[in-house]
Amino acid sequence: TQLLEQSPQFLSIQEGENLTVYCNSSSVFSSLQWYRQEPGEGPVLLVTVVTGGEVKKLKRLTFQFGDARKDSSLHITAAQPGDTGLYLCAGLRSQGGKLIFGQGTELSVKP
C-alpha cells in the first residue's frame, strides 16, 4: 500500500514549459519534504513545508502544502534541462516520526 501517491510518474516536456507534480495521501503528515535525485546519486532536499496551506518558493519552483496537510504540489515555471531528475515527496508521520516517500516523478526537460 502506497501511502503517498505521486503523479504523474513520468513527465517529458520541452524547455520553457510549466509543469506541476502532485503528491497525495489519505494520511495527515506533520511536515512534507520535496527532494530531487539525479541518477546514481542520493536525494537532495529542496524544501520542507510544515503548516497547512503553506507556500514556499525556490527560484522557479513553487511548493504548496494542502490545508489539511494530506497533499502537496510542486510547480516549476519555465522548466530548463537542468531541472531534469527524479522528484520525490516525503511525508513525516506524526506517530513514530517515520519519513514516508512517494514513488517519485521522473522529469525530463528537452532543450
Contacts with other proteins, residue ranges (CB under 8 A): 4, 30-31, 33, 35, 40-45, 48, 88, 90, 92, 96-99, 101-104
The answer to whether the beta carbons of residues 70 and 24 sit under 8 Å apart is yes
Whole-number minimum distance, CB 16 to other proteins, in Å?
27
Whole-number minimum distance, CB 54 to other proteins, in Å?
15
The answer to whether the beta carbons of residues 49 and 62 sit under 8 Å apart is no
Nearer to other proteins (CB atom), residue 76 or residue 89: 89
Q: Which amino acid is at 45?
A: L
CA–CA gap between residue 59 and residue 34 (Å, rounded): 15
* Residue 44 vs residues 21, 47, 78: alpha-carbon distances, Å: 17, 9, 21
Nearer to other proteins (CB atom), residue 18 or residue 30: 30
Whole-number minimum distance, CB 104 to other proteins, in Å?
5
Nearer to other proteins (CB atom), residue 17 or residue 38: 38
The 3-state DSSP class for residue 81 equals helix
